[in-house]
Structure 1
Amino acid sequence: MSRIGKEEILKACTQGIKNSYEEYLEWSSDEWLWNAPEYLLTVNIAKELWKIEKDAKFITLEDNVRATLKNADATIKGGISDQARANGRSDIVFWWGKGTPRGIIEVKNAVYSKKHIDEDLKRLYTVLENESDIEFGLTAFYVDRHLESGDAKSRVEERINENLINAIKEEAEEKGFRVKEHYQEIATTKNDKDAAFGVAIMIYK
């Protein structure tokens, strides 16, 4: 089997968010995803990752960070940083077929600015700073906006690019990491007063 590429992982994450939006819209009689619990996104992202029919993989949910680092054969100097929240849990761990963690995925619902995911980003940076089998950290989230002016789609895209992707790229590159991203339009109302997107940003060595 061929190796699962980073782009495929990113696209699976945004598709999982889109699936969550569509499910919750149907279940709730037209409530948008920002009203839903975050674990709905987590489960649907995991399902989409599992559908990738390439290299062997494992997917686990809510794994302990300390245990994940141990399983990744992490070389940690001076102990695990507080920013890694070692006793906390990662939303999704994406494993190599050989049985060690390849990536950590943190999921958020209703993100409107970088500050909403700053704690997750700190954890991802801290984990990646250690020598281990972990190749990437990824933040995946849903964002929407209502605007009476009727230009919601373009304004949401602008916010995604300027306030989120570019800001994270700048921060990650300063720390010596690279970034890949993918975002997907989920919904835009006919009057363009409401728009929603799924976003996935991968930080890697």
Structure 2
Amino acid sequence: MKRTLALLLFLSGCATSGYGHLPAADQSDVHRIEAYLNGIHGLQAEFAQQGPDSDQSEGQFSYVPGHLRLDYVTPHSMELVAGEGRLVLADRSSGAVTHLSLRHNPLGLLLRHPIHFDGEIQVTDVRHGDGSLQISVAQADNPSQGLLTIQFSDVNGQLSLIGLQGVDARQHHFGVVLSDVHQGVTIAPAAFTPPAG
């Protein structure tokens, strides 16, 4: 946590938009990631989420460029719909509905459409692993508002979204790990209509 806070403070003092400061190979990977995320016609997966509190939750993850939906099964039924600048979370057990702006939420960095990691977004890190690739991004004009790391499998040049890690301005951390990922899934636009309330 101290390392993340130090990174955010460092970034806030040297904001650089885009990814022109990165080595050429990393810039190429950023282009690949942009093309992949903008080209997804529909992605569904099972997810396990840790945080922002200490509880773990699970359910179904649905994504199309600009929109995200999480249908929670455990610890109890909830529905999260995010896109068009806002996030709405409906708790089926209590009936409570929470509305949040994506402007200061790390998920907002993923839900712009089309996605271009330049201008208002700063690429802070690109990392490669054995069959994996991840990119970390923040708001260029105010990186301390949050950091999002988007994780992919990268096998034979083919990317697949496998996880998200984020920390917001209040140092709340969350992580989402995807499994049983299906791409090219047709998802009805109504699935991304925010719940009423």
- Asked if Structure 1 and Structure 2 have the same fold, meaning a TM-score greater than 0.5 normalized by the shorter chain, the answer is no
RCO higher in structure (CA 8 A, sep ≥6): 2
More strand by share: 2
Normalising by structure 1, report the TM-score. Answer: 0.29
More helix by share: 1
Normalising by structure 2, report the TM-score. Answer: 0.30
